[in-house]
Amino acid sequence: MEIGQFYKRHRQPLYGAAAVAIVLTLAVALPPSRPGAGDLPAFDQQDTASRKQAFFDYLRPIARYHNARIAKERETLLALAADDSPGWLARWRLRSLADAYGVDMDQSDYDEVIRLLKRRIDVVPVSLVLVQAAKESAWGRSRFARKGNALFGEWCFTRGCGMVPGARDEGRTHEVEAFDSVYDAVGSYMHNLNTHGSYAELRAARQLMRQEQEKPTGVELAQHLGRYSERGDAYVREVLSMIRQNDLDTG
């Protein structure tokens, strides 16, 4: 299993008080029942192909649900960007988005915050979610996945925040972050790609595809994951190969 995101950020709460306005707008747009609200299934099918397909089939609606949530936030952002004379309500909504996505609104003017958030608030190709989850969790069968719904190898640095890797070098303090549900694990991973400095190139590439009226793809964005793993380019090649071999790049 790869241990990704070794530049782990101090994660902003995904649904904290600062994002109340966003959550309220989503209430009417998303289904009432969130997929993946519990622990990871066993995936104990004897046939390897069936087990892998079951893994993808389970995660796909969770990734799509999060993307629907992010798309709604982006819709809100673009509406704010189109407002030529934003009042207090528009500024309050923008601050909610800025807080949720780690942008300091007090250090930039309104238009600059809009510009920064346009790069951050965007969907993550489902193909990328599926392949990184499979790779980081050994198709859902790793100790971290089974005990803590940790599908993406995210690190945390507060004692007791997760599970201690068996091969952790002496003197290091990181743990593999545990989550209450698969839904939370997928949301954290997608939020990390959208906010952490290590993935700024990925977000820039996605924005360029948007500007050229192209749909962001897993194959394109995976090329900018060199800092996700200590294995760098070799890791990127493996992710790309898995996307192509499994014919997943459909969004």
pLDDT tens digits for 167-190?
777 777 789 899 999 999 999 999
Of 78-82, 85-89, 153-157, least confident by mean pLDDT is 153-157
How is the beta sheet containing 175-177 ordered, strand by strand?
Answer: 155-156, 175-177, 162-163
Tokens of 170: 């002496």
CB burial of residue 119 (10 Å; 0-12, 13-18, 19+): middle
Asked if pLDDT for residue 2 goes beyond 80, the answer is no
DSSP annotation of 155 reads E
Question: Average pLDDT of 92-119?
Answer: 96
If you average pLDDT over every residue of the chain, what do you get?
87
Could you tell me the pTM of the whole model? 0.85
CA–CA gap between residue 82 and residue 192 (Å, rounded): 27
CA–CA gap between residue 181 and residue 39 (Å, rounded): 5
- Whether residue 249 contacts residue 219, with contact meaning beta carbons closer than 8 Å, is answered with yes
Label residue 13 by pLDDT band (50, 70, 90): very low
Note the pLDDT of residue 165: 83
- Whether residue 115 contacts residue 124, with contact meaning beta carbons closer than 8 Å, is answered with no
Residue, of 32 and 81, whose pLDDT is higher: 81
Closest C-alpha to 159, from 178, 181, 174, 144: 174
Cα 66–chain centre separation: 9
Asked if pLDDT for residue 28 goes beyond 80, the answer is no
- 107-155 pLDDT, tens digit per residue, is 999 999 999 999 999 999 999 999 999 999 999 999 999 999 999 999 8
CA–CA gap between residue 128 and residue 244 (Å, rounded): 11
Asked if pLDDT for residue 6 goes beyond 50, the answer is no
- Whether residue 121 contacts residue 70, with contact meaning beta carbons closer than 8 Å, is answered with yes
What length is written for the chain? 251
Closest C-alpha to 119, from 213, 215, 28, 207: 207
Residue ranges with strand state E in the chain: 155-156, 162-163, 175-177
Asked if pLDDT for residue 16 goes beyond 50, the answer is no
- Whether residue 136 contacts residue 1, with contact meaning beta carbons closer than 8 Å, is answered with yes
Residue 235's contacts (CB-CB under 8 Å, 6 or more residues apart) are 2, 225, 226, 228, 229
Tokens of 192: 């990390």
Asked if pLDDT for residue 10 goes beyond 80, the answer is no
Residue, of 30 and 184, whose pLDDT is higher: 184
CA–CA gap between residue 114 and residue 108 (Å, rounded): 10
CA–CA gap between residue 141 and residue 18 (Å, rounded): 36
Looking at the chain, the whole-number percentage of residues with pLDDT higher than 90 is: 74
Helix, strand or coil for residue 176?
strand
Note the pLDDT of residue 166: 76
Note the pLDDT of residue 72: 97
Note the pLDDT of residue 208: 97
